[in-house]
Structures are given as structure tokens and as C-alpha cells.
Amino acid sequence: MLSREEADRRLARLGVEHEAIETSLLALQDHAGRRLLEGTELIGATAERWTAAEKELAALWACFEEWGKRLEDARAVRARRRFPGPEELARLVALLEEKPAGSPESADGDDTSERGAPGGWAAAVERLNTGYAEVLDVVVAADSVWSALPARIDLLGAELRRLTALAHSSGVRPGSHPAGDDLARVTGDLTALRAEVLADPLAFWLPAEGSATPGAGRPDTTRYDRAAALIEDIRREVDAVIAARRDSEERLVRLRDVLSRADRTLAEARLARGEVLSRIAATEVPVITGPASALREELTAAAEYRRDSQWHRLSPLLDSLEERAQEELERARDALTAVTAPLAVRAELRGRLDAYHARAGRSGAEGDPELTRHYDTARRMLWSSPCDLRAAERAVIRYRVATTERLAEVGAGAAGGTAASGGDHAPGGDPAGGGSPARDGDPARGHSPGARSSEVADAERPGSPEPPGAAR
């Protein structure tokens, strides 16, 4: 049996709980997510969970109304008398401790009101709290998805429409460019995604693991992020197409110029090869291949791609053509250098012969019959066609050695005459201004006469080393 004070305290506590639950239920009733769920044609998981949530919400209101009715009856009984008697207290116990309609059975299936235990109202509060959390979880999750994804999808859709207009103006269309096919596919994906989000928002909800808070989690943006990444890739491809369309004509002109220079260089190399074969004997001249016809065909295909606005094929083809055309030009230049190498060797030997002859003239030895014979032989070989480079180089070496020996003899004679007359010249001087035997950077001038004779013999030996130009 309750005392008057206990009855008053329990009435006050239940009144506070009643007001709090009423406030929560009214807030749930006015929640924007609940109104959207009621007014939307739902499908899938959202339809199933909202159907169950609606039934639970109706049961919550029924339990709350029964609780409120019993609370009003209890207050009326308490208000009859200032000091309630046993009958009033027994009635208060019955109203406050019996299970109201809609309250769950106790865990062991017994009616707690029969034992006078205060389990009825406690079970009803537990029922209201549990049901409220279940309904609120559905409402908050759906509202979170609807608040996040549709607006982001709409923004991405607007960006996609601008990109589609730009792509179509650049010739990127479905069927003519892979990026155009991607645009059509991502447009359909976004449209379907928005419809699914509106009809089944809970399919895009990821609950927070280990959290008991209603509505704890986040929207699943996997499909949205995938569409956004694909749109970004398409944007880069469209930018590349625009750049290719803007620069393609200039790049084609540069490619034609490079290939023309390569062809002219190869033609020059072929002419030089004919000249070398006619003027240089006993030498191997590389064969000159023809122009790269495959590059010309691909250049024609590139021009056709540009004319047909097939930019996705034109851009990689131009990149490849630019690299290979430059390689073709370098190959042509290398071929010209290799073909004209014998002529360069001949020019070098002529220059050396003229230098040796000039040195002999400065020393006053050019009138020597032996030197004249060697000079004429070397000159005749170098200025005749075809020119035998190996024989001509041996002749130049013989002339150099003979010149060196002659200059050494002239220098020795001049030194002897100076010593006899008491002159101031140092031994080995050159009164004619020819310098010492090692002058002009000729290593052979520092050799002894015996070594020079050996060098001449080596030059005349049939197995003597080939001149540097012969290996070129």
C-alpha cells in the first residue's frame, strides 16, 4: 500500500515523464524526414522498414494515450480528498502499477500488477523509448540521405550538362569518341542513382558500427564518387581533344617539314655516295635506304583523322609521329655523315700535304729533288680520281718523313756554320726561321734519321696500317 507522500511523488514523476514523451513524439511527428517518408512512393529496404516503423509509431501513440488516460484518472482520484483514505490509495495503486494497454508482458510471462510490483508503467516507458528509437532511426537515416545525396547529384548533373555541351561542340559524341560513350553512360547512371536515392534512401545508408544512437551513420556515396571520378576523366579527355584540335594543324605542318628535311638529307646522301664511289677508290660506302614511306602514310591518315574530327585517334598518332619523324631526320643526318667521311679524309690529307709543303718552303728545302718527287707523287694521288686513300696517305707520310729529314740536315748544317764563325745561335737552330726539329707540333720531327727511315719503310710496306679515313 502506498502512502500519501509516495503517491504524490509518483504522480509528479509520471507527469514529468508523460510531458517528456509527449514532446518527443510530437517532434517525431513533425520531423521533415517522417513527412517525406509518408509522401514518397518507397521501394526496397526503405519501404519495408517504414511500413514497420509506421505500425510501431501508431502503437506508441496508443500506449501514450492509454498512459495519459490512466494518469488523468489517478490525478482525479488524488484530488478527491486532501488526505486520501485506504480506498483512494488502493485505487491509485491499481492505476499507477497495473500494465496499461499496449504494455509488454514481463520477462517470465507473469502479470506484475497481480503482485503489486511497480512493473506496469516501467515496462510501458521502456516500450515507448525502444519503439521511439526504432522509428527515429529510420526517419533520421532517410532524412540524412535525402539531405546529402540528391543535392550533390543535382550539382554533378549540372556540371555534366555543361561538359556534355562542350564535348558535343568539340566533336566528342557517342559512337564517334570513347569519351562521348562515357558521357552517355554516366548521364544514365546519375539519373538512375537520383531516382533510387529518392525511392530507397536506406539502401544508401551505412550505420555506424557499435553505436546505439538513433540515426548514427553516414550516407553511402560510393556510386556518386565513382560517377564524379568518371566525369573528371571525361573532362580531361575533352580538354585534350580541344588542345589537339587547336594545335593539330600546326603539328601536322611541323611534321611535314621534318619529313621533308629528312628526305632532302637522304637525297643529298645518295648524291654524295655517287660522288664518293666515283672519286674514292678501294673504300666501302654505306648504302642509303629510301625515305620512310610508312611515316608518310601515317601522316596522311593523321590528316584524315583531323578532317573527320577523330581527335581521340589523332592525338596519340601525332605524338608517335613526332617522335619517329625526329628519329628519321637523325638517321638521315647520320647517313650523310657516314657517306661523306671518305671525302673528309681526302680533304684532311690534302691539308696536311699543303702544310708540310709550306713548311719545306719556309726552310728553303722545297727545291730538293727528292722532296719534289715525293710531293708530286702525293699530290697526284690526292688530286686524281678515283683516289686511293690508303696509297695517298702512305705518300703523304713519306713526304712528311722526307721533309723532316731534310729540315734536320739543313738545321744541322746551319748550326755547324754558326759554331765555326762564333755566332750566337744555339745548336740545332734554324737561321731561316724554320725552328727546331720538333716545331709545328709534328712528333716525327723529333725522331732520329734512322727512325724516320723506319717510318718510311713502314708506310711503304704492303701490310701497313690503314689510314684513319678508310675505317670511316
Q: Crossing angle of helices 222-279/178-199, nearest 10°?
A: 170
CB 164 within 8 A of CB 183: yes
CB 45 within 8 A of CB 200: yes
Write down the pLDDT at residue 465: 39
Write down the pLDDT at residue 163: 93
Distance CA 272, CA 331 (A): 16
Write down the pLDDT at residue 69: 82
Residues 6+ apart with CB under 8 A from 222: none
- The count of residues in the chain is 472
CB atoms within 10 A of CB 424: 6
Distance CA 168, CA 163 (A): 9
Distance CA 35, CA 142 (A): 11
Write down the pLDDT at residue 290: 74
Nearest-CA neighbor of 131 among 214, 60, 81? 60
Write down the pLDDT at residue 33: 86
Cis previous bond, 468, omega within 30: no
**10-residue averages of pLDDT along the chain (472 residues):** 68 80 86 87 91 90 81 73 67 63 42 40 81 90 93 94 89 82 93 94 90 86 94 90 82 90 90 83 73 84 83 83 91 88 88 89 79 89 85 90 84 61 44 39 40 44 40 34
CA 389-390-391 angle, 5° bins? 95
Write down the pLDDT at residue 257: 92
Distance CA 14, CA 73 (A): 13
Write down the pLDDT at residue 99: 55
Cell of 238: 575533352
Distance CA 184, CA 152 (A): 19
Beta-bridged to residue 437, according to DSSP, are none
Write down the pLDDT at residue 2: 59
* 317 Cα distance to chain centroid: 19
Write down the pLDDT at residue 220: 93
